[in-house]
């Protein structure tokens, strides 16, 4: 890879990386929409969201296009479905609803 293509990738990354995920989105998730969640539940949800973000970054690591918001949302949605199955089997649907309430508006969009 020559230097010019590396610069182009970096410039594109800088331009497109922060387009969709804004600070307001994070503030909505963890301040106004926390609905009285315990600190432990918020930490659990934050770990899921950040782990999914890291997964999206590693998938696109050596590719010229940056990870997208849609990739992140799709993977969070997949994990939500797995969590839903787990909580339904444990008969704890109310805990699932409380835990995932702050991010449901992002998933439903």
Give me the residue spans of the domains in the chain: 3-108
**pLDDT for the residue 85:** 96
Contacts of 101 (CB under 8 A, 6+ apart): 33, 35, 37
Residue pair 67/57 in contact (Cβ under 8 Å)? The answer is yes
Question: Is 96 in contact with 87 (CB distance < 8 Å)?
Answer: yes
Rounded Cα–Cα distance for residues 35 and 49 (Å):
18
Locate 50 and state its tokens. Answer: 């950040």
pLDDT per residue as tens digits for the range 46-90:
889 999 999 999 998 888 888 888 899 999 999 999 999 999 999
Is the pTM higher than 0.75? The answer reads no
């Amino acid at each position: 890879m020559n230097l010019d293509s590396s610069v182009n990738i970096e410039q594109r990354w800088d331009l497109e990386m922060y387009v969709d995920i804004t600070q307001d989105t994070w503030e909505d998730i963890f301040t106004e929409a926390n609905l009285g969640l315990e600190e432990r539940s918020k930490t659990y949800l934050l770990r899921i969201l950040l782990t999914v973000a890291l997964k999206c970054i590693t998938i696109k690591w050596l590719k010229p296009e940056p990870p997208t918001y849609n990739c992140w949302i799709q993977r969070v949605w997949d994990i939500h479905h797995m969590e839903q199955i787990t909580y339904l089997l444990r008969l704890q649907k109310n805990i699932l609803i409380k835990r995932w309430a702050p991010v449901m508006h992002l998933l439903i969009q």
